[in-house]
Amino acid sequence: MKKLRFGIIGAGGIADRRTLPAMLLADNAEITAVMEIAPETAEKLRQKYGAKRAYTDAAALLDDSEVEAVYIASPVVFHAAQAKMAADRGKHILIEKPVAMTAEEGADVVAYCEARGVKIAAGFMMRFGSHVMAMKEAIADGKIGQVVSAYTQFTAWVPPASGNWRLDRKKSGGGALMDMGVHCLDLLEYVTGSRITHVASFNETVAFDYDVEDSSTALLRMENGAQCVVQTNFNIPDEAALWRFEVFGTKGRLLGDNIIGQIDGGTLNALYLQKEVGYDAAQDHAVAKGESVVGHFGNMYTREIKSFADSVLQNKPLAVPAADAVHIQKVIELCYRSTAENKIFTI
């Protein structure tokens, strides 16, 4: 089988923890080169993943003639320049979210790549989660009727730490909403098949003293009229966290517990009403327990890599085009404006 030869820009961090181990499991991809600023780190990662070469400079990796595509997992502030350099050299791109520091800059990157015939996809790997895909299918099949409400909660414990670029707004673009809420916003649209049309949001630093928000709540209206809430935090201990994704409709519900995150797992409870129901003054729903959906768990990152590689090698449409990430970043920017200006905004 033909394999897409990858170069990795920013091979430490999330790349080392999740994406590169997953790439080794993909039968249509291989790791040809890695790049990290520190020479000893780059060489260590080269040996760990069996790459042919290690670089300390992104441009040098991109000049490697054996590299056909790049995975960019560097700090956000470098994304735009690195993506454009890759496009100039004809390398296809899988880039971590957000695509760039602003939606406008991200749109420019996408247009730049398209003009040069380069595919660019965004790292929304949670779309490839077993239960997430099951939710999307159930909603598309009309099993819960018209979607009227949804709620997601996704959190992490991120205390102040020197050198953590995610806590520096100039390098990350934002805090909990930008880093974690971006996935929730994307999944809401992906699973429901409906775009966000209006936003109102609170974004504040409540528990810590860094300059990005550690608490975020976004109130959203979807194009079908559904009203949804996304909550993300950097200030809830992991042991206390409950990562939830819940969708309610006129004929049922889908309750996901720990189905979002970096590991494909959790539980999904589905309730599908098979008959028309009338008003019940007693409001007795204690028996509505629903049923557990069987999960076909795997590695979301491997599925992401395989999908992207197939798109390049077989010229298939991208499952997660970077334009989708740019759209979500527009939503996030309006969420931040909503807090600053105390207004509701239309997308």
Kindly state whether residues 194 and 284 are assigned to the same domain: yes
Peptide bond into 75 cis (omega under 30): no
Kindly state whether residues 196 and 341 are assigned to the same domain: yes
Kindly state whether residues 76 and 114 are assigned to the same domain: yes
Kindly state whether residues 100 and 166 are assigned to the same domain: no
Kindly state whether residues 273 and 308 are assigned to the same domain: no
Go through the chain and tell me how many residues it has.
Answer: 347
At residue 158, the pLDDT reads 97
At residue 287, the pLDDT reads 59
Establish if 71 belongs to a structural domain: yes
- For residue 173, the enclosing domain spans 126-298+329-346
What is the side-by-side order of every strand in the sheet holding 244-249?
291-292, 267-272, 252-257, 244-249, 147-155, 227-233, 215-222, 196-204, 345-346
At residue 76, the pLDDT reads 93
Kindly state whether residues 279 and 314 are assigned to the same domain: no
Establish if 257 belongs to a structural domain: yes
Helix (H, G, I), strand (E, B) or coil at 168: coil
Indicate the burial class of 240 (C-beta count within 10 angstroms; 0-12, 13-18, 19 or more): exposed
Establish if 324 belongs to a structural domain: no
Kindly state whether residues 45 and 111 are assigned to the same domain: yes
Which amino acid does the sequence have at 144? I
At residue 26, the pLDDT reads 98
The CA-based diameter of the chain, rounded to the nearest angstrom, is 71
Helix axes 103-115, 79-88, angle to 10 degrees: 10
Kindly state whether residues 149 and 286 are assigned to the same domain: yes
Kindly state whether residues 201 and 285 are assigned to the same domain: yes
Kindly state whether residues 220 and 112 are assigned to the same domain: no
Task: Kindly state the helix (H) or strand (E) to which residue 133 belongs, with its residue range.
Answer: helix 130-140
Q: How many domains does the chain divide into? A: 2
The 3-state secondary structure of 50-89 reads: CCCEEECCHHHHHCCCCCCEEEECCCHHHHHHHHHHHHHC
Establish if 93 belongs to a structural domain: yes
The CATH code of the domain that includes 11 is: 3.40.50.720
Q: Indicate the pTM of the whole model.
A: 0.94
The CATH code of the domain that includes 263 is: 3.30.360.10
Query: Would you give per-residue pLDDT tens digits along the chain (347 residues)?
Result: 899 999 999 999 999 999 999 999 999 999 999 999 999 999 999 999 999 999 999 999 999 999 999 999 999 999 999 999 999 999 999 999 999 999 999 999 999 999 999 999 999 999 999 999 999 999 999 999 999 999 999 999 999 999 899 999 999 999 999 999 999 999 999 999 999 999 999 999 999 999 999 999 999 999 999 999 999 999 999 999 999 999 999 999 999 999 999 999 999 999 999 877 676 766 666 557 899 999 999 999 999 999 999 999 999 999 999 999 999 999 999 999 999 999 999 99
* Dist. CA 145–CA 139, nearest whole Å: 7
At residue 289, the pLDDT reads 86
At residue 1, the pLDDT reads 82
Whether 340 and 124 have beta carbons less than 8 Å apart is answered as no
* Dist. CA 81–CA 89, nearest whole Å: 13
